[in-house]
Amino acid sequence: MNQITSVQPRQLVSFVDSLMVPIKEATLLLPVSAVSEVVEKLPVSSVESDHQWYLGMIEWREQEIPLVCYEALIGGELQSLTENARIAILKASGEKPKFGFYGLVTQGYPRSVRITPTSDFRPQGDEALDAGVLMYATLDDNGVVMPDLAYIEKQLSQ
């Protein structure tokens, strides 16, 4: 005898836990699920690279991972590792990534936010986006940049 079970419609996500991550010239908006940890500034081993944004390798949890300056990656100014610098460790999410994790240079500590349907979140601008940017937006009157994490991972794989 066949038993038929009822299928419930998918529940829509009612919120997204995110982090507002300060960088030198902007604030990144990242989903909490993408960030493994935020650490103090770590020693950087330099590597040969044609890319200014690729700062080198850092040791995190007994593995070597690449360190990226996001501003330089999207065509902005290279930021140095200042005294206030922190490193956001991000999980690679693409198919067969070259690295399982990578670091992004930040300035200070991120702030946790929960984005809900009632949040004041507004996409900004209709102009073409820079490579590496998914969206420019405002969240509660704060300008934020949603980085294209797949683009960053693709650049690291080249």
- CA-to-CA separations, 137 to 33, 114, 145, in angstroms, rounded: 20, 15, 6
The pTM for the full model equals 0.87
Residue 46: give the domain boundaries.
16-157
Per-residue pLDDT band for 54 (boundaries 50, 70, 90) equals very high
Residue 5 belongs to some domain of the structure: no
CATH code of the domain covering residue 20 = 2.40.50.180
Q: What is the pLDDT of residues 89-124, one digit of tens each?
A: 999 987 778 899 999 999 989 999 999 999 999 999
Residue 76 belongs to some domain of the structure: yes
Q: Are 56 and 45 in contact (CB under 8 A)?
A: yes
Pairing of strands 101-107, 63-68: parallel
Domain count, the chain: 1
How buried is residue 43: exposed, middle or buried, by Cβ count under 10 Å (0-12/13-18/19+)? exposed
User: How many whole angstroms separate alpha carbon 43 and alpha carbon 102?
Assistant: 14
